[in-house]
Amino acid sequence: MRDFATDLSFLDGASVLITGGTGSLGKKLVEKFLNDVNLHRCIIFSRDELKQFEMEQNLKNHPKFSMLRFFIGDVRDKNRLLMALRGVDYVIHAAALKQVMTAEYNPFECIKTNVLGAQNLAEASIRCGVKKIVALSTDKAASPLNLYGASKLASDKIFVAANSLGGAQDFSCSVVRYGNVFGSRGSVIPFFRNLIAEGSDFLPITDNRMTRFWITIEHGVNFVLSSLKMMRGGEIYIPKIPSMKITDMARNIAPDMELREVGIRPGEKLHELMITKDDGRLTFELDDRYVIAPQFTFWKSDAYEVLGAKTVGEGFEYTSDNNAEWIDDQTFQKLLSQI
């Protein structure tokens, strides 16, 4: 699995704000900034005061703790964003309502956070002179089947189009789209482990053919930061990451347990899709990632030629079942031991 590591000296002396900064990715980003970057400030912007308090207590003895700022706020509140974004150079947007079924049953709340929150952040960032935003998306935004995916597609469109709104100021936005984070909250691995701990005599598999893309949280952080470094504005970045069948994953976690097929849930896909055939016409390939270019006049078509990019060709799509890279049993066990 590629690690996507890059030189982060471009962040030295900068101020960075992370929305949803107390989530899994936010915590890893903060850890990276504390240990590997000489930031001026890192602002953790989130709405959960308990998570902020716990994060503050865990980090208070770090020698660079004084660079951290904990800011209670919600991306739904533009005035709060305007206050938090003063003097900020870079924004990493990780705040979202992400549970598929939660979004289906609470559509208004999903739209307020994922769509209107994206608009608020883009507008507030322009007004505060932010240089760059990199927004986290999801594979579910490609040809969306559920409201969560549709809301993130709308969010992606907002950030891509926002590149036209900065006027003469130095402002750009790009999007990062990747698959499941290995062992993250709400993913299938802790779900299976909880069932085993509770004494279940089988593991439920929605469909025995199901496949998923996987990335570790460390590699996800590196991919976000490397994309922040190389972005021109308007791109959607997709990492080259491996796939694995859910049945193979379950068999590795509990080799002696029955796997019981229970049917696909509402809004769930059989295979994950990160680049559609229509997007393939706009997609460039680099050694470690794909880049979907925007259909806007601000985009320079030769922007990635210096990096050796090539077009992927007509009819290309990137799905978890047609992937060239797969996680084998040995690699899975190694990753599992690190959780």
Residues with catalytic function: 140
Q: CB burial class (10 A; 0-12, 13-18, 19+) of residue 63?
A: exposed
Structure tokens at 110: 């999903």
Question: Could you tell me if 53 and 77 are in contact, meaning their C-beta atoms sit under 8 angstroms apart?
Answer: no
* SS3 state of residue 206: coil
Neighbours of 314 (CB within 10 A): 8
Amino acid at 303: A
Q: In what order do the strands lie in the sheet with 211-215?
A: 180-181, 211-215, 243-245
Q: Element (H or E) spanning 188, and its range?
A: helix 188-197
Q: At what angle do helices 147-161 and 117-128 cross, to 10 degrees?
A: 20
C-alpha to C-alpha distance for 212 and 272, rounded to whole angstroms: 6
Question: Could you tell me if 137 and 100 are in contact, meaning their C-beta atoms sit under 8 angstroms apart?
Answer: no
Query: Beta strand 180-181 with 211-215: parallel, antiparallel or unpaired?
Result: parallel
Q: Element (H or E) spanning 158, and its range?
A: helix 147-161
Q: CB burial class (10 A; 0-12, 13-18, 19+) of residue 108?
A: exposed
Q: Element (H or E) spanning 258, and its range?
A: strand 258-261
Tell me the backbone φ, ψ of residue 67, rounded to 5 degrees.
-80, -10
* SS3 state of residue 267: coil
Question: Could you tell me if 155 and 114 are in contact, meaning their C-beta atoms sit under 8 angstroms apart?
Answer: yes
